[in-house]
Structure 1
Amino acid sequence: MKTILTLCLTVVITTLSIAQEKEQATTTVTVHIENVLSDKGTIHTGLYTEDTFMKAAPNYSSKDTIKDGKVTLIFKNVPAGTYAISSYHDENDNNQMDFETTGMPKEDYWVSNNPADFGPPQWETAKFTVGKEPVILTLKQ
């Protein structure tokens, strides 16, 4: 009988520990965007996985106002993993990034890690890891 009771207690404690770990397996990703040239419009930011980066809607998104050329936003409850951020200044508030006929962006944009890529943003230079600790990123042009 003691063995069965001990086994049951072990199962319950293990189950509670796993459930608690799963609850704690998320964190926040704070993004600071600096040097926005105008407070007009909004900043659209997406947090992407490799499967969605530059291909689909972001896993998490935010639309924020600009104050004194700066924006700070927080993505909450982000599970551990590898992500990238892409953000753009929707100065005319048409909810899309505008491009020249040549394909060059008309509106400013930022990518995590501030890479100096030529052409569209690349996953390999934009990716970063989210673990248990909060992540703080500063995006600059």
Structure 2
Amino acid sequence: MLRKLRINILLLAVLGNLAWSFSAQANYNGKLTVEIDGLKNKEGQVCANIFTSSKGFPSDRDRVLQKQCVKISDTPLLITFKNLKAGSYAVAIIHDQNNDGTLNSNRLGIPSEGFGFSSNPEVRTSAPKFGEAAFLVAGPNTNIQIQLKYF
């Protein structure tokens, strides 16, 4: 009887440790550092929006998880997002040369300011889908590079 009790206590301890380690992994907060290359000039600011799903990606401001606008000082420019749970994300970047917070375009709808997306998908006639720009945050530090495009 005593031996069976010891085995049960040992099993409970092992299961408790496993459950704790899985919940600890799921609840950590990671950091994402985005390196932005290809700036045409140092005018204005660079704004980065991070999304957690296809809903609203890449331009719905109401669906943005975190947003940062940074004055351009050095190139390449680094922007850091903190407190990210493990999961899939996509980042949209604009080179906001006139500091108005939006990606300006000409009469034909062609962007007149620089832009870029995580995973650097091919951009031709429209913005990429979330899946084309998605990447995984699965550790305490994730680093990605985004190459800006200008038309």
Cα distance change of structure 1 residues 16 and 128 upon mapping to structure 2, 3 Å threshold? closer
Q: How many Å separate the matches in 1 of 2:16 and 2:51?
A: 36
Kept after mapping to 2: 8 A contact 1:81/1:131: yes
Q: Structure 2: where are the runs of 5+ without partners? A: none
The equivalent of 1:89 in structure 2 is: 95
Q: RMSD value over aligned CA atoms?
A: 2.6
Q: Could you list the per-position Cα deviations for residues 76-107 of structure 1 after superposition, in whole angstroms to 9, with x for gaps in the alignment?
A: 11111111111001101112111101000010
Residue range with higher mean Cα deviation, 52-61 or 82-91: 52-61
Larger radius of gyration: 2
> Aligned partners of 1:63, 1:133: CA distance in 2, in Å?
23
1:42–1:89 Cα contact (<8 Å) kept = yes
Q: Does 1:131 align with 2:151?
A: no
Q: Distance in 1 between matches of 2:22 and 2:110?
A: 48
**Change beyond 3 A, Cα 1:129–1:15:** closer
Q: How many residues align?
A: 140
Q: Does 1:41 align with 2:50?
A: no
> TM-score, normalising length from structure 2?
0.76
Moved over 4 A (4+): 9-19
Q: In structure 2, the residue corresponding to 1:83 is in which secondary structure?
A: strand
Partners of 1:46 and 1:87 within 8 A in 2: yes
Q: Where in structure 2 are the equivalents of 1:11-30 lying within 5 Å?
A: 17=21, 20-24=24-28, 26-30=29-33
| CA distance in 2: counterparts of 1:64 and 1:55, whole angstroms | 18
Structure 1 residues 92, 37: closer, same or farther in 2, change over 3 A? same
- In the alignment, the residues of structure 2 paired with residue 14 and residue 140 of structure 1 have an alpha-carbon distance, to the nearest angstrom, of 41
Percent of matched pairs sharing the same residue: 22
